[in-house]
Amino acid sequence: MSGRGALGVLAGLGVGGGLLLIAAGWRGAIPSPRPGRNVPWSRIAAGVAAGALVLIVTRWVAVALAIGALAANWTQLFGGTRAARAATARLEALAGWTESLRDLVATGAGLPEALTASLPAAGPAVAAPLATLVDRLRSREPLEPALRAFAADLDDVTADLVVAALLLNSRAQGRQLHAVLSALARSARQELAMRRAVDAERRSIRRGVRIVVVITVAMALGLDLVNPGYVAPYRTATGQLMLAVVVAVFGCGFIWLQRLARIPTAGRFLGPARPSVPTPSPALDR
């Protein structure tokens, strides 16, 4: 490899790496401390293998970096269908559980007893966190921290609304819990219908994004394999820089299309219980 070729490779590495960092920052791809959010090592290995294969075949550094990142983050970028289905199933289970809890409260049962009795009829998306909540209550854990931990396990803004209503009722001993739960269940059902309609429309967008990505990558690699003389200028230093710009443009377009296919959701507002600070008695101040 000549000096200009080596310079092109280094320039492509620098520009491509910078573009990947910008793209990661734009889409908020900061690792989360919660389990299950990190990229598995199998996907990282697949991305490295795909990038190395493209680099060996084409000697396009920017394209190799982009293909490697695309292969490693394919599920995060274009796997929104499964996440949308999981969110819809969780919302449906929350709506059904809220209705069940409302009916139990209407019979005159206390809130801890109603929570325990609602476990058998809970949907799969709610059953495991609800079982943990019931175990906490049976082990004599106070109701408020147990409910807050239940909301954290569900990790859903609709669950925060229901738990907030239960917390307010447990503090004030109000008699309008049945009406509040009825309103929350009705709101959850309306949100569920709207989310299903929106997801049906955006499912076609996700499919179109995947088709565009596959066709674009296939055409770029096909040109190098079928007509290498046509893309030979991209192996020079200037060609590597121009190719990095082209990859950046396509990458921004792909990320924009992916963001169009994502359903925005509100963030949670219910945090963990604050530890109570004991108030010093006047006798201790003397």
- For the chain, the structural domain boundaries read 3-27+41-82+202-260, 93-194
For 181, the token pair is: 């739960």
Own/partner pairs, 171-179, CB within 8 angstroms, 24+ separation: 171/144, 177/105, 177/111, 178/102, 178/105, 178/106
pLDDT on residue 174:
61
Q: Measured on CA atoms in the order 170, 172, 177, 183, is the torsion positive or negative?
A: negative
Task: Please list the pLDDT of the chain residue by residue as tens digits (286 residues).
Answer: 444 544 444 444 444 555 454 554 554 443 333 434 455 778 788 888 888 888 888 888 888 888 888 788 777 666 666 777 888 888 899 999 999 999 998 888 788 898 999 998 888 889 999 999 999 999 999 989 999 999 899 888 888 888 988 888 887 766 788 888 899 889 889 988 888 887 777 777 777 777 877 887 788 788 878 888 888 888 788 888 888 888 888 778 777 766 766 666 666 767 665 544 444 434 434 3
Q: Which amino acid is at 125?
A: A
For residues 276 and 66, what is the distance between their CA atoms, to the nearest angstrom?
Answer: 51
User: Tokens 């600070």, residue?
Assistant: 277
Tell if the pTM clears 0.85, that is, is over it: no
